[in-house]
Structure 1
Amino acid sequence: MRKLLKQGIAFVGISGIGWIMDFVIFNLLNLRSSYVAVNNMISSLVAVCFVFCVSTRKTFVQKDGGIPLKVKFVIYILYQIILILLVSQLLALIAAGLYQTFCGSIIGDFSAMAAKILVTPLTMCMNFLVMKLLIERI
């Protein structure tokens, strides 16, 4: 249990850095383009690569005799592509709903940013579970 807690804390820290990268890139792209879903796909893939590379070195212990790390990276990227596609659509819906509901207020003005913040806890938990399973169990 203690190991799991340490890994969780480490992963949250690494993911937090990745999330900041994602968040900054996402919002910079939103300044140029109103395609929230596409912007999220681009920014998320950058962050995903960072989190995988760092967390496989600093957080998780590679299973001896398991499949090679490069194959795990490909599997993780495929998982992330599916997740990003689904989350990007969800973000677009949430952002549109926030904009319509709070039009003219600060929440409406930053609806895409607010939507990104709202979905982060769910995606972070899912990513931790998938990474732990993929790196340490397979």
Structure 2
Amino acid sequence: MIVDKILTIARVFFSFTLLSGLGWVCDFVTFTLLVNLSNLEIFKANFVSSYVGVTFVWFTSLKTVFKLGGKGSSIFLVVYWCFQFVSILIYSQLMHMTVHEIPSIFQLVKISQNPEIAAKIIITPFNLVTNFIFMKFLTHLFAQKALRP
């Protein structure tokens, strides 16, 4: 019983991770272009690029991973975007702090030439877990609302 529950959560997390990986590619490409081509500050670039990724993840994972959709999903998208606003603020600040440490940590490695990109990569696993937990919670609320008469 408990093993089945763990396996189910692991399958959902794995599926979410795959779609989040695609969302991260959208995010990362947008972030890299904004930082390297327009010299946008890391905080602003991460903010813009993150919304590209999280919006992709919302629309692709809602039905395929969490088996939800239809009426009422737009209100949950707004809640998800609000959560992401706070999450992006926190992770952007962490990236900003990390950027200043990367040159000293990676002195001998070429990665120190692009500390913004390295910082984005470093914070990604933490952000993934945070997003999964919130998306799981939000879709649970969404499912409960759908079951009400």
Aligned to 1:121: 125
Which residue, 12, 15, 23 being the options, matches 1:10?
15
Structure 1 residues 137 and 3, CA gap change in structure 2 (3 angstroms): farther
Matched with 2:61 is 55
- TM score, norm. by length of structure 1: 0.89
- The structure, 1 or 2, with the larger RCO (C-alpha pairs under 8 Å, 6+ apart) is 1
**Which stretches in structure 2 are left out of the alignment for 5+ residues?**
143-149
Does the 8 A contact of 1:61 with 1:136 survive in 2? no
Partners of 1:41 and 1:85 within 8 A in 2: yes
**Unmatched 5+ stretches in structure 1:** none
Count of equivalent residues:
135
Give the Cα–Cα distance (whole angstroms) in 2 for the partners of residues 51 and 9 of structure 1: 13
Residue among 97, 104, 110 paired with 1:106: 110
Provide TM-score, normalisation by structure 2.
0.83
Structure possessing the higher radius of gyration over alpha carbons: 2
The Cα offsets for residues 68-118 of structure 1, whole Å up to 9 and x where unpaired, read as: 211110000000011101111111110122135556851221111111111
State the 1:9 CA deviation. 0.8
Pick from 22, 25, 28 the counterpart of residue 23 of structure 1: 28
**Superposition misfits of 4+ residues, deviation over 6 angstroms:** none
Q: Distance in 2 between matches of 1:102 and 1:122?
A: 20
**One-letter amino acid of the structure 2 residue matched with residue 113 of structure 1:** I
The AA in structure 2 aligned to 1:47 is: G
Q: Does 1:130 align with 2:134?
A: yes
SS in 1 for 2:103: helix
- Would the aligned equivalents of 1:40 and 1:88 in 2 still touch at CA under 8 Å? yes
CA–CA separation in structure 2 for the residues paired with 1:10 and 1:101: 33
Quick check: 1:103–1:109 contact (8 Å CA) kept in 2? no
Superposed CA RMSD in Å reads 1.9
Among 77, 80, 84, the residue aligned to 1:80: 84
CA offset digits 1:13-34 (Å, max 9, x no partner): 0000001111111111111215
